[in-house]
Amino acid sequence: MISDLLAFLTRGFGRHVPAAGNQEYVSWLANLLGEVERNPQDLHPVLGEFERLIETNPRIYMLLQSMLQEAQECRLGIEQNVEIHDYHKLLRVLNYIITHAPPWTDDHPGVPMLVLLQSSMPTVSGYAFFQDPEVNKLIKKTLNAWADFLSSPESAGVLNTSIAGWFSTGGLRRLTDTANIGGEGFKFEELYICNPDAPHYGFKSWDDFFTRRFREGVRPVAFPDDDSVIVNPCESQPFAVARQVKARDSFWIKGKTYSLSDMLGNTFVTPFLDGTVYQGYLDTFSYHRWHSPVSGKVVKSYVLDGTYFSTPEALNVNPPNKDPGNEILYQGYLAAMATRAVILIEAENPEIGLMAFLAIGMAEISTCEISVCEGDCLSKGDELGMFHYGGSSYCLIFQKGVNVMSFPEVGGEKNIPVRGQLATVTPMEVDGFQVV
């Protein structure tokens, strides 16, 4: 069911997502609606534009009202006072979300819009509504408005030591436990560049905090002079390894994984046919900058816009078992449909050659910023860019014939440190002989 997709998505946020229909969801939504009622606000201009679209476009209005009705039918038994019956209330709730930074709490969802819409997305009308180009355009503008707020000084208000602050005892414990991968016991200010004596620890905004940098030496480059070692481009957990990937595949159908044409935007596909894809995902409490997995030269970099809150009907399936391989469906879909940044690198090691780094923004957390340009020469571990505003995922794509091995075990729940060893490349062998 869609709640299983949500539970997977927020594994990257280190938080359980309240599933529609259970008491946790009811409490979360009731608290959110209560905050909206206690703090009435004029609609943000972009949501005013959304309101005008709904009210002047009969097709959009019909789809939205049908979606909300179908969602209510899916949530039979939920208290009526926490239902969203009409678009006016939905817009007011979205308005509250995009004008506030997420506070620290032990049970907050990392993706509030996704949780809010979790019953609406898998409906027949919901699928049509979120796939509509006009709707998707305004959803993107709504997310950009939230991004603008999260980059503003006002958003730093949650970066304090209060019970709801990210530098509270509980918040700091979670942040430092996540960064101390080996159990070193370093304090937050010893791990990250900040000033605990300054307001908000010296961070200028929520996004400034989210894109914080490690202090020099905290994440050294593994084997910097050995170009057979590939380092982890992101602080992340291993998710999947796929071999012999195809140019076009049914990434939305159970049992299928990656579709290169959809992932890369129909460009630079041929070199990677029948190649290898490795995928990892990030925790929202972790470091969110990307680093080059190899030494080499940037061949091309570009960003592909994705769709938002659009879930194919094929995802409305029975819950997967605990085998991480069964969750590849969700990640494969995101790798093809979410906002993503592509950086193609010609590695100095000829055994690697051309490879691709694919940064994947997830759900409402979908801003990818590339900080390198075509022609830039990279040393292994150099910064490539960053995610903004929330946890995400990434892929490394290798050509056919690249003998890339020794990836970490899929399903492990510990982060592999950024710039730490991820895999190794050795010459291919045929009938016991190395291919040179």
Instruction: Please report, for the domain that includes residue 334, its CATH number.
Output: 2.70.70
pLDDT at residue 219, rounded to an integer: 97
> Both 246 and 128 in a single domain?
no
Q: Quick check: 281 and 11 in contact, CB under 8 A?
A: yes
> Both 244 and 129 in a single domain?
no
pLDDT at residue 127, rounded to an integer: 82
Beta bridge partners, 296, equal 347, 378
The tokens describing 115, both together, are 């949780």
Residue at which a domain ends, from 101, 124, 152: 152
Does residue 15 fall inside a structural domain? no
Residue at which a domain ends, from 120, 152, 184: 152
Instruction: Report which DSSP code applies to 298.
Output: E
pLDDT at residue 295, rounded to an integer: 98
The tokens describing 396, both together, are 């490394």
> Both 146 and 233 in a single domain?
no
Does residue 111 fall inside a structural domain? yes
Sign of CA dihedral 247, 250, 255, 258: positive
Does residue 266 fall inside a structural domain? yes
Does residue 98 fall inside a structural domain? yes
> Both 147 and 241 in a single domain?
no
- Over the stretch 146-178, which tens digit does the pLDDT of each residue have? 999 999 999 999 999 999 899 999 999 999 999
Q: Where are the beta strands (DSSP E) in 3-139?
A: none
pLDDT at residue 389, rounded to an integer: 82
> Both 54 and 142 in a single domain?
yes
| Total domains present in the chain | 2
Starting at the earlier edge strand, list the strands of the sheet with 340-347: 237-243, 276-281, 393-398, 354-360, 340-347, 296-304, 377-378
Q: Quick check: 200 and 160 in contact, CB under 8 A?
A: yes
> Both 248 and 391 in a single domain?
yes
> Both 375 and 241 in a single domain?
yes
- Over the stretch 122-144, which tens digit does the pLDDT of each residue have? 788 988 898 899 998 998 899 88
Residue 71 lies in domain: 23-152
Does residue 200 fall inside a structural domain? no
> Both 261 and 403 in a single domain?
yes
Task: Give the list of residues 6+ apart from residue 11 with CB closer than 8 angstroms, or none.
Answer: 281
Residue at which a domain ends, from 134, 152, 170: 152
pLDDT at residue 18, rounded to an integer: 52
Q: Give pTM, 2 decimals.
A: 0.84
Task: Give the list of residues 6+ apart from residue 168 with CB closer than 8 angstroms, or none.
Answer: 104, 160, 161, 162
Does residue 29 fall inside a structural domain? yes
- Over the stretch 59-97, which tens digit does the pLDDT of each residue have? 999 999 999 988 887 765 555 556 788 899 999 999 999
Sign of CA dihedral 91, 95, 101, 103: negative
Average pLDDT, the chain: 83
- Over the stretch 261-270, which tens digit does the pLDDT of each residue have? 888 988 889 9
Rg (CA), the chain: 22
Q: Quick check: 264 and 294 in contact, CB under 8 A?
A: no
Does residue 90 fall inside a structural domain? yes
Find tokens 């970066």 and name the residue.
Answer: 159
The tokens describing 174, both together, are 């979670």
> Both 246 and 387 in a single domain?
yes
The tokens describing 353, both together, are 């050659």
> Both 271 and 136 in a single domain?
no
> Both 248 and 122 in a single domain?
no
Using 50 as the pLDDT threshold, list the residues of the chain that sit under it.
1-17, 252-256, 312-332, 430-433, 435-436
Q: Quick check: 206 and 160 in contact, CB under 8 A?
A: no
Does residue 189 fall inside a structural domain? no
pLDDT at residue 365, rounded to an integer: 63
pLDDT at residue 79, rounded to an integer: 54
pLDDT at residue 29, rounded to an integer: 79
pLDDT at residue 110, rounded to an integer: 61
> Both 273 and 399 in a single domain?
yes
The secondary structure of 251-275 as a DSSP string is: TTSTT---BHHHHHTSSS-GGGTT-
